[in-house]
Chains A and B, each alone.
Chain A
Amino acid sequence: MNGLLLIFVPLGGAAISAFWPSERTRPLLLPAVGVIHTVLSFWLLAFPPPIQLGAWMGYDPIARAVLPAVSLLFLSCAVYAVSYLRLRSERPNRVFVTALLAILGLLSAGHQARHLGLLWITTEAVTLAAVPLLHFNNTPRAFEATWKYLLIGGTGIALSLLGSFCLGYASLRGGGSGDLTFAALSAQGAALSRPWVLIAWVLLLVGYGTKMGLAPMHTWKPDAYGEAPGIVGAILAGGVTTVAFTAILRIRAVVDSAGAGAVASRTLLAIGLFSMLVAALLLLATRDFKRMLAYSSVEHMGILVIGASFGAVGVWAALFHVWSNGLTKGALFLSAGNIRRAAGGRTVDEVRGMSVVTPYSAAILVIGMFAVTACPPFGPFFSELRVLKAAIGTGHWAAAAMFLVALLFVFFGLSRIVFGIVDGRPRVAASAGSIGGMRVRETLGVILPPVVLLGLSLWIGVATPALLRDAWSAAVAQLFPTP
């Protein structure tokens, strides 16, 4: 049993789904594969498979520290998807289910990639597999969002390919063989040609930063998250972005070994703070509650790279934040999707009084909003506290202050919109709550998954399991090897 199963089970599921005859039963493949993937990823987390140093793929400590979170998120979204696709039975779901399963398989491959070229191939493939999900709603707005996603994402991913080549050339120029495995590049260390390493770092940071949605390369994010179904937003925000983040962590380790770690940390800190501030300001301006979630995601990506800039302690906090952000954001996207369907609108001008129309989803959205803005006792509070402690511990007082100011603005922005749509008296059109004349009922299938995600977020916050702590510590040890 090894990590390759994590890749081939979902890809096999995707192949089956492509040929599955029945529209009605096809979505059941999603939770089936999701359960297998979750069990496998936690099993392998508890009993790690051996890894060859030069292998191109491996369920190594970094993959172990992040991939199970993606599994959990996917499983919840998969359960939700069964009910969701039943509600949207007017749209054929063959492509949707197949693409979702393919994304899970490719994400597993991307997290386990120990080779720069392979990492690029999987990230690009994930980008492409997400395209049919984005225009699932088939509206002109959805196509506009997809076009922007393709062009911006494509350009970003092209730059990261160029960066990968530059890192390879750094190895050639330094007398190496141009081997693109992270192990070989790190082993070459200071022999790597420094100018090429710096060029590669900038290009790779811009490239994978575009995929993560760091400002100023975040512009595809509000469009894509705003127009795609909530479940797609959850998987993009909590799953696809993590693959780009682990890519940045792995590359940073190579840059560190080449003796340019200080430069890398400074750029990460700058781009992270910039993302947080941009997101905070845009959150104060937006009126659309699904775009709000996208800006919140930009903010959290900023927190991740800020964490990653503070050395070993910071990376530990960032890995913690990957979990807490992914799970909480999933709950928010799913409940916002429920509200969006029931309300028939997307801005605070059109939607209000959702606590009457969809009481459960509104409650989840409010609790999730408090969780994601780092109110105790949820996961994000503890992980952001650790990022803050890492900032102060390494003497970055100004950064810590800006971090707190941005968090405050984000809280204003989010609470303004969330209470705007939850409070008040429902509009007539919304209270009829109609999709094709039917009243929207909040079934267990669309309520339970976000509740479970919130519960998990609470759990890893108040009682972080030792298994996860050890996994994060092992990943940090892999990224910062003590000589």
Chain B
Amino acid sequence: MNETMNLLIGLAMGLNLMALGSSRLPSVVRAMAVQGVVLGCLPVIIERNFDWLVSFVALVTVLVKGFAIPTLLQRAMRSANIDREIEPFIGYVPSLLLGAVGTIASVAAARMLPLLPEHAETLIVPGAMASIFTGFVLLVGRVKAISQVCGYLIMENGIYLFGLLLIHSTPFLVESGILLDLTVGVFIIGIIVDRIQRAFDSLDTRKLTTLRE
């Protein structure tokens, strides 16, 4: 079981690097979506016995993260007529290097954390830290609203992955509440992105500089 899980988490960590290194927005969105699907499948693998509730939550997660949110973002991209990040604050090669260093550092840091024996041999904690770090780099280093949303979602993916450590103890209600909030949040972000596009005729967040001291 651990091998399959580690394989999937490794794949998610690779997708982090793909999101960091790509200049085309659709591929960043795709990396984020595939990562969401990969991570959404994990609970079914961790839970050895088939459980309706867990499968249902996994299915909803996959549908929301893999299909609903990417469709929303693609629509926003089409209406804004952009598909490429130009002049990011942190270039592609530096962010890729940052991502690689971050991934190695998170594997090293996870060894130092006191983990339960059954978690110490999985990639859950390093994978989570790497995704959170990647999300931060995208949030800070990119200027297009869509890339920042992707960064936010990749960070959420990392936190979700960390939450899997508690899968046997957090009640179902809490997980579904978190998923619901996340979904609503992204829809609201989508609406605001759309309004910003109309108000500023651009999704370049560098134009959002009227408000400062």
- Name A residues whose Cβ lies closer than 8 Å to a Cβ of B: 115, 117-118, 120-121, 124-125, 128, 131, 135, 139-141, 143-148, 150-151, 154-155, 158, 161-162, 165-166, 168-169, 171-173, 177-180, 193, 195-196, 222-223, 226-227, 282, 285-286, 291
Contact = CB atoms under 8 A, between A and B. Distances in A.
Interface in B134-167: 139, 145, 148, 152, 155-156, 159, 162-163, 165-166
The 6 closest A-B pairs by CB, nearest first: A178-B169, A117-B174, A121-B177, A144-B208, A140-B199, A124-B181
B181 A128 contact: yes
Nearest to B166: A168
Interface string B170-195: 11001001101100110011001001
A177 B195 contact: no
Given A131-B192, A165-B162, A155 B139 contact: yes
B113 A195 contact: yes
Contacts, number: 116
A178 B115 contact: no
Contacts of B159: 158, 161-162, 165
Contact of B211 (A131, A145, A169): A145
A131 B181 CA distance: 13
Contacts of A222: 211, 213
Nearest to A196: B114
Contacts of B185: 124, 128, 150, 154
B145 A147 contact: yes
Contacts of A223: 211
Contacts of B200: 140, 143
Contact of B155 (A140, A155, A180): A155
B132 interface: yes
A147 B174 contact: no
B152 A151 contact: yes
Nearest to B129: A162
Given A161-B159, A291-B213, 18 more contacts: A115-B174, A117-B177, A125-B184, A128-B184, A141-B210, A143-B196, A144-B210, A148-B211, A151-B139, A151-B148, A151-B152, A154-B152, A154-B185, A165-B166, A168-B170, A172-B116, A172-B165, A282-B213
Interface string B122-133: 000000000010
Contacts of B208: 144, 147-148
A173 B180 CA distance: 28
Contacts of B165: 165, 168-169, 172
Contacts of B139: 151, 155
Nearest to A161: B159
Q: Decide if the interface of chain B is mainly helix, strand, loop or mixed.
A: helix
Q: Decide if the interface of chain A is mainly helix, strand, loop or mixed.
A: helix
Contacts of B211: 141, 144-145, 148, 222-223, 226-227
22 contacts: A117-B171, A118-B174, A121-B177, A121-B181, A124-B185, A135-B195, A140-B199, A140-B200, A143-B192, A143-B195, A147-B196, A148-B208, A148-B211, A154-B152, A154-B185, A155-B139, A162-B159, A162-B162, A165-B162, A177-B169, A222-B211, A227-B211
B190 to A, nearest CB: 11
Contacts of B163: 161, 165
A173 B115 contact: yes
B2 interface: no
A115 B200 CA distance: 42
B205 interface: yes
Contacts of B205: 147
B145 A179 contact: no
A172 B199 contact: no
Nearest to B115: A173
B168 interface: yes
A121 B115 contact: no
A16 to B, nearest CB: 21
Give the interface centre of B181, B192, B211 by most chain A CB atoms within 10 Å. B211
A287 B162 CA distance: 44
A195 B114 contact: yes
A179 B174 CA distance: 12
B152 A155 contact: yes
Contacts of A155: 139, 152, 155
Contacts of B188: 128, 131, 150
Contacts of B156: 158
